[in-house]
Amino acid sequence: MTKSFLAFAGAATLSLAAHSLALASPAADTWIAQAHAAFEASLADAGLADDGKAVALRVTISADPDAATLRIVRTSGSQDFDSAAKAAAGKAKLKRPPAELVGRTVTFTLGDPASGPSATGAD
C-alpha cells in the first residue's frame, strides 16, 4: 500500500490480494475513508471515542450498505467496549460502495489506536 492510501484511508486497510490493492480506484479509497469516518462518528455518538481503547472490526462489504457484516478481529481487551463499539459501528450510515468492493473485506481500527491494538489486513 502506498503512503497516500494510508493517509487517506486512516486506519483502514483493504483486505485484498496485493495485486488488487494496486488496482484500487479513487472511488474505493474514498468509500473506505468515508466508512471509517462514519464508524468513528458512531463511536463518538455512543460516547466511546475517548475510552482510550481500540478495536479492529472486519467489515464484509455488501451492495446494500445496511447489510454489511461486522466481526471483531482484534479486541481492545474489554469485551464490553468491543460489543458496544461493534453495536455503534453497526448503526453507521454508509453510502453504497463501489462495485469493486462488494464482497471484499476491510479491517478498520476504531477508537484510540495509540492506546489499543492496530488493525491488520484480512485474507
What cell was used for 11? Answer: 486506519
Residue 70 has pLDDT above 80, yes or no: yes
- pLDDT value at position 114? 64
pLDDT tens sequence across 33-51: 999 999 999 999 999 988 7
- Residue labelled with grid coordinates 493517509: 7
The letter for the amino acid at 112 is D
- The H-assigned helical ranges of 50-90 are 79-90
pLDDT at residue 79 in the model? 94
Q: Distance between CA atoms of 15 and 122, rounded to whole angstroms?
A: 5
Burial class (CB in 10 A: 0-12, 13-18, 19+), 65: middle
Question: Any bridge partners for residue 14, and if so which?
Answer: 106
Judge whether residue 62 has pLDDT over 60.
yes
Is the full-model pTM beyond 0.85? no
Return the closest-CA partner of residue 27 out of 105, 101, 108.
101
Which pLDDT score is estimated for 30? 95
pLDDT band for position 120 (50/70/90)?
very low
pLDDT attached to residue 63: 95
Q: Which three cell numbers stand for residue 22?
A: 494496486
